[in-house]
Amino acid sequence: MSINVLKAGLQTTIQDSGREGFREYGIASNGALDEYSQRMANWLVGKSAGETTLEITQIGPTLEFEADMTIGVTGANFEILVNDQPQTTNKTLQLKAGDVVKFGKLYSGARAYLAFSGQLTTDTIMGSQSTNLLAGFGGNRGLALKDGDRLNVVSEIFNQTRQIPEALQQEHHHNLQQHHLIVRFTQGREFDLLSDESRNVFLQTNYQVSSSSSRMAVTLEGENLALGDDLSMTTVPIVAGTVQLPSHGQPIITLADGQTTGGYPRIGQVISADLSLLAQLKPNDSVSFYPATIAQAHKALMQKEQYLKTLLTE
Amino acid sequence: MSQPELFINSDNSIIIEFDDAISLKLTRYILGVKLSIEKAKLEGFVEAVPAYDSLLILFDAETFHPERHWQQLHSIVKTAQPIDNRDSQRYVIPVCYDLEVAPDLPFVADHAGLTTDDVIQLHSEQDYPVYMLGFLPGFLYLGELKSQLHCPRRSAPRAKIEAGSVAIGGSQTGIYPIDSPGGWHIIGKTPMKMLDVSASNPAIAKPLDIITFKPIGLEEFKQYEH
């Protein structure tokens, strides 16, 4: 059976938890930008964190399901219609053969995740079904979905009905409705080279998210930052969350599709627990940086993990 | 080689920085350190990413213990040995330098005060060792270009440079493995695929391999393409 893409939306891609072990060949991890939302969507259909989902960006798709299927949608807060009837989101939805799921208005956030009970039969490349848009491989032949695409799925049903606990939903929605996010960062290797003034500016600026942001990077606009002294840097490995400062003085944050190496000063590193938040930023939202230590970063991650484990029970 | 230094790079990585000047000898040492770390199978280890004078060690964030992992890596680094060149291979990349696929060749020649034939000769008579990969999937960072061919990047980058384009930027030359925006000068094009996503090494070469460019005519280039 297949999922028929009646309308593809702005950028709908197939993403799992991503690939590991290929950065040395210049290939980033790819995978869901908001792992937490993806995990919750998978939980709604009885799947493990990191299993293959659709990542839906700002304008959602319209999808027709050829067979009975269980789906779950979380992340950005969209109006969801099944055969034109509004649905409660963050809850398991049982679809009948022929049902049409339409993503309507986007209320908050930028990226939603649609998990489904069936198994997608697309190729696994470098250990993952995730779409690498840059090099054009993985997922839907390396591309975002297009109108008229058909995704082959082995049909399966998940018989339970689950709902994301209210506390988790509220926390998530509170974050998304602000249009401003605070992300915690640890100091990058070149943080100390920022001029004293620039260090303060970095901590105090509400950076605007630029429209050139993508799955590769969040590009920011705000007051210019400068290094105290000129620095000649060699190309170094970077990871998701690395905040670099190009010569134009506006920071960029690397995401899951970002380059594996960079040549700009690394002023910060967004902590792992807050990486998912970056996925929910839209152009003209704003973001500010709050300092954390490595120990605090680790603690935040453990707390988040523990919290999810407690709430998302079988 | 001087003793490298280890720094906590993030809440899931440690970066090893090597103080020595960039050289193939240093690359052999970095790859030796990388191999020793991979063999150690440390808890939570994900992957090691080598660069010119650094090596990033990425861990699973949940099981990352900065102090313990720092200590473990520190002792591995102390005894690591450079790898030898035995596995190094030579790859000959056919390149068409015809103006039809080399729009910036005249500019580079003008800038160098040479003829386009001189540029082709200089560009293709040299061995280029691979130092590292990065920037784009399968992009090889190659050893330095002959100084006559150094050429500052274009002031306005192109929105799209096609896969296979051979280009010069500053003191470097490289092959674009995929379509990409870029500010380098395009001086030729190879019909060879630089990225094979189904291979265990998806790139055409690995660090310490040697790349040479072999000029081919437009006819041959077009035949390859089919």
**Residues within 8 A of A (CB atoms), B 12-51 only:** 12-13, 15, 22, 46-51
Question: 3-state DSSP call for residue B90?
Answer: strand
Question: Is A88 domain-assigned?
Answer: yes
What is the rounded end-to-end Cα distance, in angstroms, of chain A? 28
Q: Tell me, yes or no, if B198 comes closer than 8 A to chain A by beta carbon.
A: yes
Q: Do B137 and A261 touch (CB under 8 A)?
A: no
How many CB atoms lie under 10 A from the CB of residue A54? 29
User: Domain span at residue A220?
Assistant: 178-311
Q: Per residue of chain A (314 residues), give pLDDT as tens.
A: 999 999 999 999 999 999 999 999 999 999 999 999 999 999 999 999 999 999 999 999 999 999 999 999 999 999 999 999 999 989 999 999 999 999 999 999 999 999 999 999 988 999 999 999 999 999 999 999 999 999 999 988 999 999 999 888 877 777 777 889 999 999 999 999 999 999 999 999 999 999 999 999 999 999 999 988 777 789 999 999 999 999 889 999 999 999 999 999 999 999 999 999 999 999 999 999 999 999 999 999 999 999 888 888 87
The string of pLDDT tens digits covering residues B103-127 is 999 999 999 999 999 999 999 999 9
For chain A, the domain total comes to: 2
Same domain, A107 and A182: no
Same domain, A190 and A110: no
The string of pLDDT tens digits covering residues A80-101 is 999 999 999 899 999 999 999 9
Same domain, A155 and A126: yes
Kindly list the distances between the CA atom of residue A304 and the CA atoms of A19, A31, A298, in Å, as whole numbers in the listed order.
23, 20, 10
Measured in angstroms, the CA of A263 and the nearest CA of chain B are apart by: 9
Q: What pLDDT is attached to residue A12?
A: 98
The string of pLDDT tens digits covering residues B146-160 is 999 999 988 888 999
Residues 6+ apart with CB under 8 A from B55: A237, B4, B15, B16, B18, B30, B33, B34, B37, B48, B49
d(CA A299, CA B167): 47
Q: What pLDDT is attached to residue A76?
A: 95
Q: Tell me, yes or no, if A259 comes closer than 8 A to chain B by beta carbon.
A: yes
d(CA A222, CA A284): 11
Question: Is A172 domain-assigned?
Answer: no
Measured in angstroms, the CA of B46 and the nearest CA of chain A are apart by: 7
d(CA A71, CA A116): 4
Same domain, A149 and A188: no
Q: What pLDDT is attached to residue B156?
A: 84
Cα B180 to the chain's mean position, in Å? 16
d(CA B194, CA A134): 14
Residue B199: closest C-alpha in chain A = A126
Kindly list the distances between the CA atom of residue B59 and the CA atoms of A36, A256, A257, in Å, as whole numbers in the listed order.
19, 15, 18
Q: Is A257 left (phi over 0), alpha (psi -120 to 50) or beta?
A: alpha
Same domain, A130 and A37: yes
Rg (CA), chain B: 20
Same domain, A137 and A185: no
Same domain, A198 and A90: no
Q: What pLDDT is attached to residue B226?
A: 65
Same domain, A206 and A285: yes
Question: Is A169 domain-assigned?
Answer: no
Residue to mutate among B14, B49, B171, with most A CBs inside 10 A, is B49
d(CA A173, CA A128): 30
Residues 6+ apart with CB under 8 A from B52: A234, A235, B22, B26, B27, B131, B132, B141
Q: Tell me, yes or no, if B7 comes closer than 8 A to chain A by beta carbon.
A: yes
Any idea what the CATH number is for the domain that residue A196 is in?
2.40.100.10
Q: Tell me, yes or no, if B6 comes closer than 8 A to chain A by beta carbon.
A: no
The string of pLDDT tens digits covering residues B178-224 is 999 989 999 999 999 999 999 989 999 999 999 999 999 999 999 98
Question: Is A101 domain-assigned?
Answer: yes
Q: What pLDDT is attached to residue B50?
A: 98
Choosing from A140, A163, A186, the residue where a domain stops is: A163
What residue segments make up the domains of chain B, in order of their start?
5-79, 90-225
Q: Do A135 and B197 touch (CB under 8 A)?
A: yes
The CATH class for the domain spanning B90-225 reads mainly beta
d(CA B86, CA A138): 34
User: Please, are residues A293 and A191 in contact by the beta-carbon 8 Å criterion?
Assistant: no
What is the ipTM, given to two decimal places? 0.95
Does the structural domain B5-79 have CATH classification 3.90.226.10?
no
d(CA A72, CA A149): 21
Same domain, A102 and A201: no
Q: Do A301 and B61 touch (CB under 8 A)?
A: yes
Residue type, A307: Y
Same domain, A8 and A150: yes
Choosing from A138, A163, A188, the residue where a domain stops is: A163
Q: What is the dihedral of CA A9, A14, A18, A23, to 10 degrees?
A: -70
Choosing from A134, A163, A192, the residue where a domain stops is: A163
Question: Is A52 domain-assigned?
Answer: yes
Q: Note the helical H segments in A190-268.
A: 196-204
Q: Which two tokens stand for residue A292?
A: 């954390």
